[in-house]
A and B are shown apart, each in its own frame.
Chain A
Amino acid sequence: MPPWIVIVKYLLLIIALFFFTAGTLGVLRFPDLYSRLHALTKCDNLGLGFVVAAIAIDAADGWLAVKLILLWFLALASSATACYLVARSGLRAGRDPWEKKA
């Protein structure tokens, strides 16, 4: 494997780690359901996306890379749907969005 691939792979993984860390911090620290969901989707979408990109560039063959990217699309679709459903049921249960106290 040429060295530049290894460097790119680790760069992608570091970017992924950044998004996972930021998303996790957001889930733990943000004040209400909706902003926590917003943070959580960063893990699913960008974090997982960069992990998939990192594994795909050094995949044994092209098909494996295609499968990995399909997996990411699947996760994108389900995370978007799940996020919408959670937010919707939160709104219906009467959870008000957080507002900054004056």
Chain B
Amino acid sequence: MNDPILIDFLLAAGLVLLAGFSLRVVDLFTGVVTFIIFGLIMSVAWVRLQAPDLALAEAAIGSGITGALFLGAIRRLEESTPGSTTRPEYYSPVQRELYVVGVAGMSLALYLLGSALVPPLLEGPAGLAEPVSEAVGTAGARNPVTAIILNMRGYDTMLELVVLLLAWSGVCVLQGDLGRTNILPATGELAVLGAFVRFLRHPGILMAGYLIWVGGDEPGGAFQAGAMLGGVGALGLMAGGPTRPLYSGPGVRPVLIAGVAAFLLAGLSSIGTGGMFLEYRGEHAKALLLVIEIFSTLSIGLVLTLLFAACTFAPDPGRGAPARGGHS
């Protein structure tokens, strides 16, 4: 990395251009597609920065699942308020060209400046890299990213899971409890998609398990694995898969909170053995982290699938938020 090359320049300039385009387009659909491409290029950029964990997360969550959620949201928006997803063009062609030329010029200038500045910067103080690599030995995961996410900064990660739960509660409040309504299955004509999903679901689930396991030593982990499960779930929903048992079954809520519950229980157990809340040391650390990751993956996968369902399929008409009634 001491030696910036042309592809880094192209990536950086492309990212700024795509970010601008995704904000300035005249219809939201094009904006979302541009945003998805932005995510994919961003994950290549993370690979170039030698951060494969982030690259995986960006491709799976930032680009894949978020893109699917946005596309579903646009469809719902267009159905409820036709014409609301486009707007008149208010930039002239000259302004647009100026933007492209300006970004390209600035990126080139930064690239030239960067090739002069980056090598000296890299020789500066290493930040937290050294204390982290010292602590990794006792943190239960040899992959420093996993050790930081689940152990050293476990509090942040637990709260991220809470955020996902809150997002789902918000959806439930806004449009009724989808977990108990009959999510409309797609019409039975999607034979090709159905065959694709049948072909992909087992490798997908296997891949999620692999990502959890490998996350201890190499790039991977609960968020990537959960995104994988969410993707499998979303594909199954689109193909009109068996939604009712999965979304209205009695196991939905326990699985939703499983991740946070595992975090809390494991955190409390570390107090019991003389440590601090959410502090895992020594021989049990790896087992504890693995349990947390498995349950977090299930929660993340389910929340993402349910969010996708909420974005994509209209709720049962008779079951909007006001008519929700008194069930807990």
User: B-contacting residues of A (Cβ < 8 Å)?
Assistant: 77-78, 81, 84-85
Which 9 residue pairs are nearest across A and B when measured between Cβ atoms?
A81-B196, A84-B192, A81-B192, A81-B193, A77-B196, A77-B199, A85-B193, A78-B196, A77-B200
B144 to chain A, nearest CB (A): 24
Residues of A within 8 A of B196 (CB): 77-78, 81
In whole angstroms, what is the CA distance A20 to B102 when docked? 28
B255 to chain A, nearest CB (A): 27
Residues of B within 8 A of A77 (CB): 196, 199-200
Residues of B within 8 A of A78 (CB): 196, 200
Nearest chain B residue, comparing its CB with the CB of A83:
B192
Describe A's contact surface by its main secondary structure.
helix
In whole angstroms, what is the CA distance A85 to B192 when docked? 8
In whole angstroms, what is the CA distance A78 to B199 when docked? 10
Residues of A within 8 A of B192 (CB): 81, 84-85
Give the residues from 169 to 205 in chain B that come closer than 8 angstroms, CB to CB, to chain A: 192-193, 196, 199-200
In whole angstroms, what is the CA distance A81 to B198 when docked? 12
In whole angstroms, what is the CA distance A91 to B193 when docked? 16
Nearest chain A residue, comparing its CB with the CB of B189:
A88
What are 11 A-B pairs at a CB distance below 8 A? A77-B196, A77-B199, A77-B200, A78-B196, A78-B200, A81-B192, A81-B193, A81-B196, A84-B192, A85-B192, A85-B193
Bitwise, B127-139 to A at CB < 8 A (1) or not (0) is: 0000000000000
Residues of A within 8 A of B199 (CB): 77
In whole angstroms, what is the CA distance A90 to B52 when docked? 36
A76 to chain B, nearest CB (A): 11
Nearest chain A residue, comparing its CB with the CB of B191:
A84
Residues of B within 8 A of A81 (CB): 192-193, 196
Give the residues from 201 to 257 in chain B that come closer than 8 angstroms, CB to CB, to chain A: none
- Of A78, A81, A84, A85, most buried by chain B (CB within 10 Å of CB) is A81
In whole angstroms, what is the CA distance A78 to B193 when docked? 9
B204 to chain A, nearest CB (A): 10
In whole angstroms, what is the CA distance A78 to B196 when docked? 8
Nearest chain B residue, comparing its CB with the CB of A92:
B189
Nearest chain A residue, comparing its CB with the CB of B196:
A81
